[in-house]
Structures are given as C-alpha cells and as structure tokens.
Amino acid sequence: MEKKLSEMNYEEEGRVGSIKQDLKNKVAGMGIRVGKNLKMITKHPLRGPIVVEVDGAHTSLALSIADRIIVEVKK
C-alpha cells in the first residue's frame, strides 16, 4: 500500500517509492532515496517533525518535507 511518509505510523516500515523532484537532492544527502527501506521511529504532535531510520542511521525531518515523499508500506 502506498502512502505519504508523513502518514506512516509508529514502527511501520516501508520502501521509498518516489520523492518530489525539488526535494530529491536535499534528502538524498540524508540517505533517503528511491528504493531505500525506512522505518518510522517517532512522530511529534502538533505537526512536529518525524524521525526515521534508514540503513541503521536516524534522520529527523519536518512533516512538510515528509509530505512530499511517497512510501510503499510493508504489510
């Protein structure tokens, strides 16, 4: 099932399906690229930032950035 990274739940895992073009390079530097597996570590309330795990490393990103990344969620 596909959803936005910002809509993933705690502990959910998925595979990056697509990233908005203008964002691609910015998040690539943090290890987030199409085809990478990631896991949601935490989401903060009040539209706060999220923390994801990619290749064993943690990255925090604003929800509005996560809105523009589509993830294929594993069932």
| Binding site residues, another protein, CB under 8 A | 24-31, 33, 41-42, 44-49, 51, 55-62, 64-65
Closest to another protein by CB, 1 or 21:
21
CB of 30 to another protein, least distance (A): 6
Determine the 3-state secondary structure of 56 from DSSP.
Answer: coil
Token code pair at residue 41: 């570590």
* Integer Cα distance of 75 and 66 in angstroms: 20
Closest to another protein by CB, 17 or 49:
49
